[in-house]
Amino acid sequence: MLPNIALDQLLLLDIETTPAAPAIEQLSEEMQQLWREKIAKTAPVSGNDDSAYADRAGIYAEFGKIVCISVGFFSLENNRYQLRLKSFYNDDEAVVLSGFLELINKFYAKHPRFQFAGHNIKEFDIPFICRRSVIHLLSLPQPLQLHGFKPWEVPMLDTLQLWRFGDFKHYISLKLLTAVMGIETPKDDIDGSMVGKVYWEQKDLERIATYCQKDVLAVAQLLLKFKRLPALKQEDIVIVKQ
């Protein structure tokens, strides 16, 4: 599987998002009403629209924000792959996005034919990044200028799409896919549903960044497994501090 994919031409990524405010009451009256209209159309049986805000607002770019973006890069050392991990995290979303977009420009200059890689990045991470960047009036790098592309032309390697094998109704979480493929992942004290609470109540961005990096690592291990290559060992992983 993936015989023509060069791992060192991939930019692995994962994002963590939260509601833009800790509670719906802290939004403007207009945004509160727009939230109720949004959730009534997208999840009409979700119950109380206001109580759904804390659980669901983070998945919509119009009502959420990015608090962390983690990236990974493969390199080949002594016939073994190594992975470098780096995270951008800050309370100021524009700072997170600016750092990430600058990295894309540098990576694109070095690897003009690179691909983004991750799990469900086509339908979530990349569109979310682009929408939030536009909201902050940030310039999108050339690799994120995706309008006009046909679906099969978008330069992304998405492990969810790979696992679908053409079955576009099928969904699988990263957690389940790694388990099915026999990939050990660390037992985390949080999961994606807890990120908003950890951010707004505990103010622990480093904890969120650590969780985000582990998802990037899980994708890296999946790609190696798909290519029938040895898994990364602890000594193969380098974390670059922010």
Instruction: Give the domain ranges of the chain.
Output: 7-20+63-240
User: pTM of the predicted model, to two decimals?
Assistant: 0.94
- Domain 7-20+63-240 of CATH type 3.30.420.10: yes
Q: pLDDT tens across 107-130, in order?
A: 999 999 999 999 999 999 999 999
Q: Is the pLDDT of residue 197 over 60?
A: yes
Question: 124, 66 in Cβ contact below 8 A?
Answer: no
* CA-only gyration radius of the chain, Å: 18
Burial class of 7 by CB neighbour count within 10 A (0 to 12, 13 to 18, 19+): buried
Looking only at the bridges linking them, the beta strands covering 64-77 and 80-89 are antiparallel
Q: H/E element holding 42?
A: helix 29-42
Q: Compute the mean pLDDT over every residue in the chain, rounded to the nearest whole number.
A: 92
Q: What is the mean pLDDT of residues 188-192?
A: 78
Q: How far apart are CA 89 and CA 61, in angstroms?
A: 17
Mean per-residue pLDDT, 227-238:
95
